[in-house]
Amino acid sequence: MLVYRLENDTLTPATLEQLTSAQSQDHLCILDFAALPAVYEQLGISQKIFEECLLEGNSKFEGYEGFDFIKITIPNTLRQDQKPGHICIYFRTNLLLFVADRCDFIQTLVENSLAEEIRIPRLGRIFHLFFEALTAADWLVLEGIEEELSDLEEALIVSVKDDFVDSLVGFRRQLLGLKQYYEQLLEIAEAIEENENDLLSDEKLRYFKILTNRINRLYMSVLNLRDYVTQVRETYQAQLDINLNYVMKIFTVVTAVFLPLTLIVGWYGMNLMLPEFQWTYGYPFVIILSIVVAAGTLTYFKKNKWF
């Protein structure tokens, strides 16, 4: 297997001649998008696939007569400063082409494979190792999101944060992007399993079945996290209701305490000559009566645990 790392500053006619000759050998090519326009015709790639490769969009698989084309767009959440964001794969007999906006990830994968393998790996092996490496660390990312949600839920128990709604919206948007990504990646893995162009051996197809199960588990984990976000939002709403009920309880107690006092004020505020007006201790009596009524009301409420 011949391995090529083609970039704008290292692209030469000699490299192209070597790449397009020796058709009986396997060719593994790693390109950046800047180098693709100069080599796609020599590699036998059609204009349509070339233009499709340059367009960023949703991840997808397209099977054609004799070759497969895959486009993958990785969400920012999963890149972790290691993975590229946009990858295109062109796979046919004797040629596996990776085009990425960051080639170091694929280059490291190939170097590690060449160093570990006793024999030179075939293209199908590199193809499978790429998808394994692409999803290997995703569990850590999802576990990190789950821990952040758990911390947010614990903080909610202590106090209601002002930016809590913004945090929940951010998590929902993040998980929606992951859900769409894994749905598309699952469709790609299932399409690869069909192997319409017979590019993979039965052994590699067995590995891809395992990979499909892994992607499906990641997808289910994202769905579980979305349900967790919904539960946290419901907990937040319940906490708001509890706080509102407590405030309403305080207002109710205050109203209940001052209601008899209002009755006393209304009674002695009438424009009528009451007998108590002539009593020497009438004014102190009303003051003491008001204090006794307020204290008695508060004691009764406290005894019944109304506040």
What are the backbone dihedrals phi and psi of residue 83, each rounded to the nearest 5 degrees, phi first? -90, 150
Sketch the domain layout of the chain as residue ranges: 1-136, 247-303
121: DSSP letter? P
One-letter amino acid at 112 equals N
DSSP per-residue codes, 57-110: -S-EEEEETTEEEEEEE--HHHHTTTS-SEEEEEEETTEEEEEES--HHHHHHH
Residue-level pLDDT at 224: 94
What are the backbone dihedrals phi and psi of residue 183, each rounded to the nearest 5 degrees, phi first? -60, -45
CA distances from 109 to 64, 98, 101 (A): 27, 12, 16
Tokens of 303: 């005894």
Residue-level pLDDT at 22: 47
Residue-level pLDDT at 10: 47
Do the beta carbons of residue 276 and residue 287 sit within 8 Å?
Answer: no
Residue-level pLDDT at 259: 85
pLDDT digit string (tens) for the chain, length 307 residues: 466 565 544 444 445 555 555 455 778 888 888 888 888 888 888 999 999 988 888 899 999 988 999 999 999 888 877 788 899 999 998 889 999 988 888 888 888 877 776 455 688 888 888 999 999 889 999 999 999 888 888 877 766 666 677 888 888 899 999 999 999 999 999 999 988 888 888 888 888 899 999 999 999 999 999 999 888 888 787 777 777 887 888 888 888 888 888 888 887 777 667 777 777 777 788 888 888 888 888 888 788 777 6
pTM, entire model = 0.75
Query: Domain 1-136 falls in which CATH fold?
Result: Beta Polymerase; domain 2 (3.30.460)
